[in-house]
Every structure is written in structure tokens, then in C-alpha cells.
Structure 1
Amino acid sequence: MTKKILVLLAIVVWLAHTGTVHAEGIGIPGIDVNVTTSNNPQNVATSVQILLLLTVLSLAPAILILMTCFTRIVVVLSFVRNALSIQQMPPNQVLIGLALFMTLFVMTPTLSEVNEKALQPYLAGQLSQAQAMEQAAIPFKHFMAKHTREKDLMLFLEYRKSPIPKTVEEIPLSTLVPAYAISELKTAFQIGFMIFIPFLIIDLVVSTTLMSMGMMMLPPVMISLPFKILLFVMVDGWYLIVKSLLQGYQ
């Protein structure tokens, strides 16, 4: 028995030694990361451009939310779900996905203009990076200025004590973006208020009926929910909501 154990141990040691030899013959790739100085300014400029690009990509969600129609669309869709008193249907993923595709649909002319006047000339070497950024901001400025209330824009201009711009191109993005955001929020809440009214009437009728019947312990939401869904389906609610949102950006 002892001899068998010794033989097994000898085989294990031999296999381990053989595996080590093969591993040494194959070799394991190594990773070496060094930060060195460079005498070529072009290498440094390229590194800075990559860093700026990563910074812009990290800010992409904020740009998407605040400089496009995404804010109004997603807020209105959330109002629809709350008005129907269904907190989890449709799910958040569905609402955000629908809002993203509607945003892409509405912003297609603006994005096409950015591609034509900024991105393609920059890729062709006709514009520098700074010039391309300035050209790319102009279509977004025209889009946001078209849907920004003058009162909201003046709020930020007066706070900065800035002169009134003569053209849309002269409005700085640091002023136009927050003004556009609060204008979109007000419009979204106005649409949400109009959406709530018919469903609120259904809740009042159901609550009054239950109280008159002495059924005060029965939650009115349980009874009114099927009627809300029925009303929303009969009037083709999703079509009307999407249609009103698209018409608001014509």
C-alpha cells in the first residue's frame, strides 16, 4: 500500500514538472504600461484629443437628455403611466426605449445637418477640432432656441448680466441649454396635466359611486383601473400621445 502511494506521488511530481516545462516553453504574455516623456508635440496632442473624446462620451447622457427632445417625451410618457395608475406597466425599459427612438426620429434633421456641416468636413481635414465643435453646436442651438421660451432665456441672460444676443449663433450653450431644459419641463407638465384630467374624472365618479353604495372599504383604484384602461384603448391613447408629441416639434 505504501509503495502504491509513493508511486502515485512520483507520478504527480513528474506531471507537475512536465507541465511547468511546457508552460515555460509556451510563455505567458506580459502587459507593460509606461508613462514616458515625448519630444514630439503631435503625440501629446493626440493623447489630449483622446482624453477629450472620452470626456465627451462620459457626458453623452447629459447631452442627450438636455439638448434634445428626450426630456419632454420621457416625462410625458411617465405622466401617462401614472395617470393610468399602473406603476410598472409599461416597464421603464420600454418607456425609455420608446423615448430614445422618438428622440432619434425627431432629431434626425438636426443630426444630419451636424454630420454634413461639421463631422464630414472634420474627417476630411477641412476643419479643425475647435471649428468642427462650433459648427456642430449651431444646428442644436437653432433647434433649442425654437422651443425655448423667451422668458426662460432672459432669466439666465439677466443673471449673467450678458447683452441680448442678436442671433441664435451668439447665444452661449451654457445659457441656452438650461433655458431649453426648463422650457421643456414646463411644456411636459402642461401636457401631463391635460392627460390627467379625464382619468381624474373617472376616479371621482368611481369614488362617489362607491361612497353612495356604502362600500367605503373598497379601494376606488381597483374599480377605476379597468375603466381607465378601457378608455385609453378606445380612444387609441398611445397614438394620440405620440402624435401630440411629434406635432409639438414641427
Structure 2
Amino acid sequence: MIEFVKKRWLLKALVFGLIFTIACILTSLCRAEIPVGATEVTDGASALSNENTDVSNDYVEGDIGGLTFRFDGDNTSSLSATLQILLILTIISLAPSILVMLTSFTRIVIVLHFVRTAVGTQTTPPNQVLIGLALFLTFFIMSPTLTKIYDAAIVPLNKGEINTEEAITLGLEPIRDFMFEQMDGGEKDLQLFLDIAGIEEVKTRDDVPTNVLIPAFILNELRIAFIIGFLIYIPFLILDMVVASTLMSMGMMMLPPTTISMPFKILLFVVADGWDLIIGQLVRTFY
């Protein structure tokens, strides 16, 4: 299910990126920038009126019916803008993977699926509800980290105090801190990928590369989610065993135990206030 949602979001991101790229290309057709030395004035340029044409040593600029052309050989901002557009499109394309793998989403959605399977309801709650609940819980848990990223990277970048590379570096720090905090007891996973990467000695957290930290964090999240899922299964498994033993003692061996146990599972889950209990304890595992 996670893979399906991931592919679905990735497809939407690619479509949005394609539309955005086409819009940028159409916009660039209305504003061209080339060196003056490489430009030759042809007969068609006579359509430019003398009043609306500004010629200097650096650039040539003219208007045709509201359409502006600017030929500038010294302006280097176009390259920077192009790289920023490519960076934005890359981030949009990788947004589903970033959301799923670098946040609390993985642990939450796996635990919710374990809850649904343990209770025995096949499609209730539906996948859309589980994914939506996991998303909002992820935003709730990650809000302090997102606030740190906004204050440390986005605000200085908008003010022009730092460049894009510095913003990326500063924005990664809160994410790295979050992953390190969640890996309490997951040193085994981190050491596994350090050995695979050939890194022998790590003294501080700053010495751990991000490409090593990310897979170690994901593996640790999967382990924790499966441990929580096992603990959730235990009371419902005991109830299944009790129902199966009762049916066998009554000679009703042909009746599926799951058919009888499902109402009792739902009753047990409601009486124990299962949603508040599970969601509350699940969110507290991140603090």
C-alpha cells in the first residue's frame, strides 16, 4: 500500500513538474538574453520603433506591441534562476520519498495497518483514512522540526543572507537531529551501514554521512513498527484462541473462528478505547 501511494504521489509530482517546466519555457520565449556581440541586426529588426528602443554598450532592449526583448551579455542571473528551478523540480519529484522515508510517516502507517489486520476488519478503516490519519499525525510530530528548518534555512534564504547551498545544509541539520533522536538503541543499524560504506571510525554525529544515516533510520523505523505491531496482535490473538477452543469444545469445528471472534474483537477494541490508547502511545514514542 505504501508503495502504491508513493508511486501515485510521484506521478502527480512529475505531472506538476512537467506543467511547470512548460510554463517556464513559454515564459522564456517572451524574454530572451544573448550577448550583443553575437547578435546581428537583420531587416526584421526594423520593426522596432526608435522611440521604444534603448541601445547601450551592455544591452539592447525594445518593445513590439507590448512584447519586450532584452539582449544582455553581462547578466548572469539567468543561470542561477535556471538552477533554482531545476532544484525546485527535483525536490517536488522527491517529495513523496522524503515524506515517507525521512519522517515519522513510516512507523505510523505500518502500525495503523497492523491495527486493522489485528482487529480483523479487511477494509475498515479504508486506506484513504489510514493514510490521511498518518499524514496529519506526521505533520503534528514533525512540526517542531519543520519550524526549525523554516527559521534556520528558509527565512535567511528569502532575505538573501545565505545562498542555496548553505540553505540546504542548514535545512538538513534539524532532519538529521530528528533521525538521531529516533535511533536511540539503533546503533546496530547505523554501524551496519557504516561498515558497508567502509567508514571505520566515527567520533561525533557530524562525522556520520547523511547517505549512511538515512537507510539506518529507515531500518530502525521498520523494526520499531513491527515490534509495536506484535504487541498489538497479542490480545487479539488470545481472543482468537479462546473462541477457537470454545467452538471446538462445542463440536462446531466447521464454523470459522474468525467469523465469531470479529465482533468480540471490535467490542474489546471499543471498550478499551483502542484508538486513543494506540495513537497516544504511538505519538509518545517520538518524544
1:230 and 1:210, CA in 2 relative to 1: closer, same or farther beyond 3 A?
same
Q: TM-score of the superposition, structure 1-length normalised?
A: 0.84
In the comparison of the two structures, how many residue pairs are matched? 220
What is the aligned partner in structure 1 of residue 141 from structure 2?
106
Counterpart check, 1:83 vs 2:118: yes
**C-alpha distance in structure 1 between counterparts of 2:171 and 2:280, whole Å:** 29
- Give the CA deviation at 1:44: 2.2
**C-alpha distance in structure 1 between counterparts of 2:268 and 2:180, whole Å:** 37
Counterpart check, 1:201 vs 2:238: yes
What is the aligned partner in structure 1 of residue 277 from structure 2?
240
Identity rate of aligned residues, in percent?
A: 49
Q: Which structure carries more relative contact order (alpha carbon 8 Å, separation 6+)?
A: 1
Q: Deviations over 1:185-215 (max 9, x none)?
A: 0000000000000000111111111111111
Amino acid at match of 1:83: A
Which structure 2 residues correspond to residues 47-126 of structure 1 after superposition, within 5 A? 47-126=82-161
**C-alpha distance in structure 2 between counterparts of 1:171 and 1:159, whole Å:** 13
- Give the CA deviation at 1:33: 7.9
**C-alpha distance in structure 1 between counterparts of 2:27 and 2:132, whole Å:** 41
Larger Rg: 1
Amino acid at match of 1:230: L
Indicate if the aligned counterparts of 1:117 and 1:136 stay in contact, CA closer than 8 A: yes
Unpaired segments of 5 or more residues in structure 2?
1-25, 35-72
What is the aligned partner in structure 2 of residue 158 from structure 1?
195
- Give the CA deviation at 1:37: 7.4
Q: Which has the higher strand share?
A: 2
Q: Secondary structure at the match of 1:232?
A: helix
- Give the CA deviation at 1:92: 0.6
- Give the CA deviation at 1:107: 0.7
What is the aligned partner in structure 2 of residue 215 from structure 1?
252
What is the aligned partner in structure 2 of residue 177 from structure 1?
214
Q: Secondary structure at the match of 1:97?
A: helix
Q: Secondary structure at the match of 2:120?
A: coil
- Give the CA deviation at 1:32: 9.3
